Amino acid sequence: MNKVMKAGLAGLLVSTMLSGAALAETLRLSHNTGDTTTWQQGAEKFGELLSDKTGGAYDVRVFPNAQLAGGDQMRQAEMVGRGALDLVVTSAINVTPLVPEMAVFSLPYLYAGYDQVDATTQGAPAELLEEILRDKGIEVLAWGENGFREVTNNVRPIMSPDDMQGLNMRVAGPMYIDVMNALGANPQQMQWGETMTALQQGVVDGQENPIGAVIIPQQVYEVQKYLTTWHYSYDPIFLGVSTKRWDALDPETQAQMREAAEEAMAYQREITREGTAEGVAFLREQGMEVYEPSEAELQAFRDATQPAFDVWADKVGEDIVGAFRKAIDETGNGS
Ligand code: X2X
């Protein structure tokens, strides 16, 4: 060890002693988008709040791009479930291989707006999913937002279901394969981490993702020409902790952790909605051609995707779909 290193180590020791605190326990948090997204910002906010609320007893190290799961975005939930990861921020769609019921949020055209979304993700319906996830070893701490998923491609503007015919579309999960098939496209399931390169090289023509959480921060506009705001599927994210970790915490720490998660995800939802609201204008400035379908045009997409809705509503089960529909109806905004 050289002099400089020795001095550095001594300094570290002194500052630790001066702060009077025991070394914080570091929890590892995995998420599957890049470090510029609102997923990352929400995860970092959670780390800050947890450290504050626990008086520095815990801190969080955030690992983007599903790197702790070898780049496999679907594997993260299973790893948290068996305690191989402490924490995860991921979207519902990534958990459908483990828990098919999680597809409920993303059923095509289930929601007509944010108030309907909030009535389910921030209300009793989401608790039905939380129970199932708990049985799989994941304690959901709070729900955030990926958002309404919009379609982009490099071939032509999408104005009607016919325009989807024959397009090679990257999709994230199994339900979207059925949705894309219903629209006459050629879906291909692919990791998000591989998608930008695939779009750039023309391996696929298009993809679909939310504007504020992913398309803008991950610069999808650099490799895609056309975007249609078809709002066809909503995707929430959640912040979850391994139940192995959770059950070992005392009630006070549990309360602090849940509070930190709720505040962090509220912040994450807010910045995601802001980014989405400003997003279309920004994307046009970047040279994208954006098409905003009318109500009648949206109805054509709704009709075309109905077969996939029916298949997946069956997989989710009547109890859960019914609870979601009831909460949506009670907002009084129709859909
Ligand atoms: O892979 C995607 O498209 C993403 C980032 O939205 C999800 O995690 C589902």
Q: What is the pLDDT of residues 194-223, one digit of tens each?
A: 999 999 999 999 999 999 999 999 999 999
pLDDT of residue 156: 98
74 CA → ligand 1 middle, Å = 10
pLDDT of residue 181: 98
User: Is residue 333 pLDDT above 90, yes or no?
Assistant: no
192 CA → ligand 1 middle, Å = 6
pLDDT of residue 67: 98
Nearest atom within ligand 1 for CA of residue 39: 5
76 CA → ligand 1 middle, Å = 13
Taking every pair of C-alpha atoms in the chain, what is the biggest distance, in angstroms?
73
User: Domain of 306?
Assistant: 22-329
Query: By alpha-carbon position, which residue is closest to atom 1 of ligand 1?
Result: 192
73 CA → ligand 1 middle, Å = 8
pLDDT of residue 14: 47
Nearest to 151 by CA among 92, 107, 214, 104: 214
The enclosing domain of 164 has a CATH number of 3.40.190.170
Residues pairing with 312 in the sheet: none
49 CA → ligand 1 middle, Å = 26
The set of protein residues with a Cβ atom below 6 angstroms from ligand 1 is: 32-33, 73, 91, 93-94, 146, 172, 192, 209, 214, 235
**Residue at 15 is within a domain:** no
Tell me how far apart the alpha carbons of residues 211 and 244 are, in angstroms, rounded to a whole number.
35
pLDDT of residue 7: 54
**Percentage of the chain with pLDDT > 70?**
93
Residue at token pair 């920004």: 282
What string of DSSP letters covers 117-151?
HHHHHTSHHHHHHHHHHHHTTEEEEEEEEEEEEEE
Which of 35, 93, 218 for a ligand 1 pocket mutation test, highest count of atoms within 8 Å of Cβ?
A: 93
pLDDT of residue 23: 86
**Residue at 334 is within a domain:** no
Output the CA angle 304-307-312, nearest 5 degrees. Answer: 130
Task: Indicate the number of domains in the chain.
Answer: 1
**Residue at 6 is within a domain:** no
**Residue at 12 is within a domain:** no
pLDDT of residue 19: 52
Among positive and negative, which fits the CA dihedral 12, 13, 17, 21? positive
- 15 Cα distance to chain centroid: 38
Which of 36, 94, 171, 189 for a ligand 1 pocket mutation test, highest count of atoms within 8 Å of Cβ?
A: 94
pTM of the model: 0.93
Q: What is the pLDDT of residues 132-147, one digit of tens each?
A: 999 999 999 999 999 9
**Residue at 9 is within a domain:** no
**Residue at 57 is within a domain:** yes
Query: By alpha-carbon position, which residue is closest to atom 8 of ligand 1?
Result: 91
**Residue at 90 is within a domain:** yes
Q: What is the pLDDT of residues 304-324, one digit of tens each?
A: 999 999 999 999 999 999 999
**Residue at 5 is within a domain:** no
Which of 31, 33, 76, 224 for a ligand 1 pocket mutation test, highest count of atoms within 8 Å of Cβ?
A: 33
Q: What is the pLDDT of residues 151-171, one digit of tens each?
A: 999 999 999 999 999 999 999
* Distance between start and end Cα atoms, the chain: 67
SS3 88: strand
Q: What is the pLDDT of residues 46-55, one digit of tens each?
A: 999 999 999 9
